[in-house]
Amino acid sequence: MPFQDRLEAGRRLGQALEGYRDQHPVVLGLPRGGVVVAGEVASHLGAPLDLVLVRKIGVPAQPELAMGAVVDGSAPLIVRNEEVIRLAGVSEATFKAVCEKELAEIERRASRYLGGRARVDVARRVAIVVDDGIATGATTRAALRATRTRGPSRLVLAVPVAPSDSLAGMQDEADDIVCLEVHAHFGAIGYYYSDFRQISDQEVIDTIARFPVPAVSVR
């Protein structure tokens, strides 16, 4: 296995991102598993840590198949996969219903993970978006697009492992991509970890708590 667990993957990813240390980046993790990886990256770089709250919009009959994704914000960003929507025969009403369900889950997670914590301002700073891997890329693409709207000076995608085709699709979304393991024949992210257990809400909360919000941050 390339990685023992998410902690090891994060440490190795942090080393690969060493060149950004002096640029005072902000690290943004995707809950849940991506936050554990992002915490190790932020520790290595001495960077603040925040979240990108994004949810896959799954086809009702096949929830693991993404027909889009939604990201939190004052105006939530919705990314659609029109090809999947068409092939699965999903109506607009069904898409909207699933989207609203995932938005509700995002609101729950925002309240549980962040409470009244201020968000880290990424405007005019290097923003490094971190997940524990990429599958179809729907949630990753949505996270990158939402982060781009916040005005970072440079947008970096950093993941331990990804399929080559999904990674190629990110080239137009990020200014730089750092990926430790790229595979043409991928399978699932969990195949590349010896320990890929589900991360709890409390582990996300505990990871975030290790990183005080800088004084210059804004709501």
Count structural domains, the chain.
2
Check whether residue 205 and residue 168 sit in a common domain: yes
- pTM value is 0.91
Domain interval for residue 190: 6-53+119-209
Alpha carbon distance 82, 52 (integer Å): 23
R_g of the chain computed on alpha carbons: 16
* CB distance 68 to 80 below 8 Å: yes
* CB distance 141 to 79 below 8 Å: yes
Domain's final residue, options 65, 80, 113 = 113
Check whether residue 45 and residue 132 sit in a common domain: yes
**CB within 8 Å of 140: residues ≥ 6 apart:** 30, 129, 131, 134, 157, 159, 166, 170, 173
Which pLDDT tens digits describe the chain residue by residue (219 residues)?
Answer: 689 999 999 999 999 999 999 999 999 999 999 999 999 999 999 999 999 999 999 999 999 888 999 998 777 889 899 999 999 999 999 999 999 999 999 999 999 999 888 889 999 999 999 999 998 888 899 999 999 999 999 999 999 999 999 999 899 999 999 999 999 999 899 999 999 999 999 999 999 999 988 765 444
CATH code: domain of residue 181: 3.40.50.2020
